[in-house]
Structure 1
Amino acid sequence: MSRAPNLKSPFLLAFDEIERAAERAAKAVSNGYPPCNIERIVGGETDEVRLRITLAVAGFAADQLEVAADPNELTIRGRQKDERARTYLHRGIAARQFQRVFRFAEAMEVAEASLQDGLLSVELIRPEPRGHVKRVAINVRD
């Protein structure tokens, strides 16, 4: 018997995005490659909270890596080409492709990405919330 919640309930109208996110999470298979760290960085001049995601990408050059971001998702891809001209006696380091996807509950923006000593660091900041309050008119019906 499955313990998954029933997201088809009539009481969850207009929660299609939550349903899609739950389905994506259920289908996502993380093989843990490349290994990563996720840090919370507090401080600096503005006391804003930042996140730093660091991936161990030894063997990848900057032009073989791609960082793509939208407000709720960060995707990092690496593509290496297999060099056919080499003859290996032993091959322990394979040319490997990867894709890591990080999803956020709140909107985040990429502040910077840097590659140093085989570590790709991506710093994220939370944008200032827009203080826009919309007034809703109340219609009176008799």
Structure 2
Amino acid sequence: MRTYDLSPFWRSTIGFDRLLNLVNDTVDNGDTYPPYDIERTSEDQYRISLALVGFTPDDVAITAKRSTLTVEGRKTDEDERDYLYRGISVRPFRRVFNLADYVQVKDATFEDGLLKIALTREMPEALKPRQIAIDVAGNDHQRSDRTQAA
């Protein structure tokens, strides 16, 4: 297992606290439950898939706040069974995903033991790049001079 010491960066950066917190949070902390995938489905669309075998949609809560997405699960109906071996884990979990600016949760579907959360980046019109027309200074004055001379 690798450990990273980010303390040298803390004392030499100003204003990058959020970036360093994100890096610090992504360092493997050993918690791999439940397993998940993050994929890009198009230029501005993403999908998070969590393997939640043994859970139902009623056992899972999804909360989207400003820049985080939290998925929590807790099995509600613990039936009294006499397991000889229990290999399918249904323990409580909490997964927090940090979202980039302007990324919104569109929908969530639960199918075949996979929870799929669709995300879309929607940039406000004011922040999208736009083309600026370039006018040539004095261009109208030159045209009027040419029409009089002809």
What is the TM-score normalised by the length of structure 1? Answer: 0.69
In 2: Cα distance, 1:96 partner to 1:65 partner: 12
Cα distance 1:85–1:130, how it changes in 2: closer, same or farther (>3 A)?
same
What's the secondary structure of 2:18's corresponding residue?
helix
In 1: Cα distance, 2:5 partner to 2:35 partner: 30
- Choose which of 100, 120, 123 in structure 2 pairs with 1:125: 120
Q: Which structure has the highest helix share of the two?
A: 2
Ranges in structure 2 where 5+ consecutive residues have no aligned partner: 128-150
In 2: Cα distance, 1:81 partner to 1:17 partner: 36
What's the secondary structure of 1:8's corresponding residue?
helix
In 1: Cα distance, 2:124 partner to 2:30 partner: 32
In 2: Cα distance, 1:102 partner to 1:67 partner: 11
Q: Could you say what the CA RMSD is over the residues aligned between the two structures, in angstroms?
A: 2.6
1:93 is the counterpart of 2:96: no
Q: Which has the greater radius of gyration?
A: 2
Deviation of residue 37 (structure 1)? 1.6
Report if the CA contact (8 A) 2:55-2:75 is conserved.
yes
Q: Identity over aligned residues, as a percent? A: 37
Report if the CA contact (8 A) 1:38-1:52 is conserved.
yes
What's the secondary structure of 2:110's corresponding residue?
strand
Name the counterpart of 1:139: none
Name the counterpart of 1:70: 65
In 1: Cα distance, 2:118 partner to 2:89 partner: 28
Deviation of residue 60 (structure 1)? 0.5
What's the secondary structure of 1:63's corresponding residue?
helix
Name the counterpart of 2:9: 6
In 2: Cα distance, 1:49 partner to 1:18 partner: 21
Task: Name the amino acid aligned to 2:11.
Answer: K
Task: Name the amino acid aligned to 2:37.
Answer: N
Between Structure 1 and Structure 2, how many residues are aligned? 123
Deviation of residue 81 (structure 1)? 3.8
